[in-house]
Amino acid sequence: MKRGEKLAEAAKDELQKAVTRVIELMGDDPKRDGLKRTPKRVAEAWEFLTKGYGQEPKQVLNSALFDSDSDDMVIVKDIDFYSMCEHHMLPFFGKVHIAYLPSGKIIGLSKLPRLVDIFARRLQVQERMTTEIAKTVQDLLGARGVGVVIEAQHLCMMMRGVEKQNSYALTSAMMGRFRKDGRTRGEFLDLIRHGRISV
């Protein structure tokens, strides 16, 4: 579904009605004090949590592409994200690590976290989100290689089902040199394993 960054008023009204009905179906009274404004709050929260549907990665990132002679690995690690699992509509959250090998173009470093948010602010699965981020960086930059690793905890595993509070999921997408060259991939994985360099 494509939509503008903001939900239309009619869509927000429909969402509020749906939340009201869910409250009723759960056996509570949507008219009681604590719940009177809940449908409106939930509609506003979901508008924010799904704003990625109204954002186009190329439009956000194209203004921050720069010519460069550098061919050394660029890494932005520990990018915090929050997303919603499309299977249970419960949050999953964690960190994204992105690396690329430039081929004549680099991207403004602050844009990579913005790219993560575009894909995280949709109903998602971690595996697809990992690949979407990697493909977008590859397509926009024509990089010689791209690596993306996501580590996340999923409330659908922690709050329900197996109820394992300390487990997390790790996914990766490797393209170009990161897929073909074990040394390049190993350097990336080694660098994201270590903490920040103190200066």
pLDDT tens-digit profile of 30-42?
999 999 999 999 9
Q: How far apart are CA 108 and CA 60, in angstroms?
A: 11
Q: What is the pLDDT of residues 164-191, one digit of tens each?
A: 777 889 999 999 999 999 999 999 999 9
Domain covering 57-193 in this structure, CATH number: 3.30.1130.10
Q: What is the CATH number of domain 9-49?
A: 1.10.286.10
Which is more confident, 36 or 63? 36
Beta bridge partners of 174: 147
Q: Is 153 among the residues known to form the active site?
A: no
Residues in contact with 37: Cβ distance below 8 Å, sequence separation at least 6, in sequence order? none
Is residue 127 flagged as an active site residue? Answer: no
* CATH 1.10.286.10 location in the chain: 9-49
The active-site residue out of 44, 88, 153, 187 is 88
Instruction: Respond yes or no: is residue 151 known to be catalytic.
Output: no
Buried b (16+ CB within 10 A) or exposed e, 157-182: bbeeeeeeeeebeebbbbbbbbeeee
Q: Record the tokens describing residue 94, joined without a space.
A: 């964690």
Q: What is the pLDDT of residue 1?
A: 44
User: Where in the sequence of the chain do the CATH 3.30.1130.10 domains occur?
Assistant: 57-193
